Amino acid sequence: MQFDARAAKLLKPGEHMTIADHPGLRLECTASRRAWIYRYKSPVDGRMKQTKIGAWPAMSPAAAIVEWEKLRAARDSGRDVAAEKRTARTNARAVENGSLPHAGPYTVRRLCADYLVGHVERNRALKGAKEIRRMFDTMLAPIAGMLPEEVTRAIAFDLLNSFAHIPVQAAKLRSELGAAWDYSLDAGRLREDTPNWWRQIMRGRLRSNGKKIQGKAVGQVKRVLAEAEVGELIRWLPNFSRIVDDALVMYLWTGTRGSEIASMEAAEIAEEKDGLWWTIPKSKTKNARRPGATDLRVPLFGRAAQIVRRRLAVAGDGYLFPARVGGPIEQKVIQTAVHYHQPYSKTRPEDQRPRLTITHWAPHDLRRTTRTLLASMGCPNDVAESILGHMLPGVQGVYNRHTYDRERHEWMGKLSVKLESLASDGGADFVTKD
What is the tens place of the pLDDT at every residue in 330-349? 898 999 999 999 999 988 88
What is the CATH T-level fold of the domain 5-79, as seen in this structure?
Answer: Double Stranded RNA Binding Domain (3.30.160)
Q: At residue 218, does pLDDT exceed 70?
A: no
Return the amino acid letter for 378.
G
pLDDT greater than 60 at residue 5: yes
> What dihedral do alpha carbons 8, 10, 15, 16 form, nearest 10°?
-10
Q: How confident is the model at residue 355 (pLDDT cuts 50, 70, 90)?
A: very high
pLDDT given at position 285: 87
Lowest-pLDDT range of 98-102, 172-176, 247-251: 98-102
CA–centroid distance for 405 within its chain: 24
- Long-range contacts from 193-200, C-beta under 8 angstroms, 24+ separation: 194/148, 194/149, 195/153, 197/151, 197/152, 197/153, 197/156, 197/157, 198/156, 198/174, 200/153
pTM of the model: 0.62
How many other C-beta atoms lie within 10 A of the C-beta of residue 182? 16
> Mean pLDDT for the chain?
86
The model's pLDDT over 80-96, given as tens digits with 9 standing for 90+, comes to 788 777 766 665 565 55
β partners of residue 51: 38
Q: 21 by DSSP, 3-state: which?
A: coil
| Residues 379-432 pLDDT 10s | 999 999 999 998 776 545 444 456 789 999 999 999 999 999 999 975 444 444
Rounded to the nearest 10 degrees, how much is the dihedral formed by the CA atoms of 146, 149, 153, 158? 10
State residue 213's pLDDT score: 55
Q: How does 279-291 read in b/e, with b if 16+ C-beta sit within 10 Å?
A: ebbbbbbebbeee
Q: What is the CATH number of domain 104-199?
A: 1.10.150.130
CA distances in angstroms from 122 to 80, 92, 129, 216, 260, listed in the order given:
11, 16, 9, 40, 20
* Distance of alpha carbon 280 from alpha carbon 269, whole angstroms: 9
Contact 422, 230 (CB under 8 A): yes
pLDDT, tens digit (0-9, with 9 covering 90-100), for 35-79: 999 999 887 777 888 899 988 988 888 888 888 888 888 888 777
- Confirm or reject CATH 1.10.443.10 for domain 227-425, answering yes or no: yes
Q: Indicate where the chain has its CATH 1.10.443.10 domain(s).
A: 227-425
Peptide bond before residue 57 is cis, with ω within 30 degrees of 0:
yes
Q: What is the mean pLDDT of residues 92-113?
A: 71
Is the pLDDT reported for residue 135 higher than 80? yes
Q: Where in the chain is the domain with CATH 3.30.160.390?
A: 5-79
pLDDT digits (tens, 9 = 90+) for 20-38: 778 889 999 888 889 999 9
Residue 280 has pLDDT above 90, yes or no: yes
| CA proximity to 328, closest of 284, 277, 270 | 284
- CATH 1.10.150.130 in the chain is located at 104-199
Q: What is the pLDDT of residue 395?
A: 45
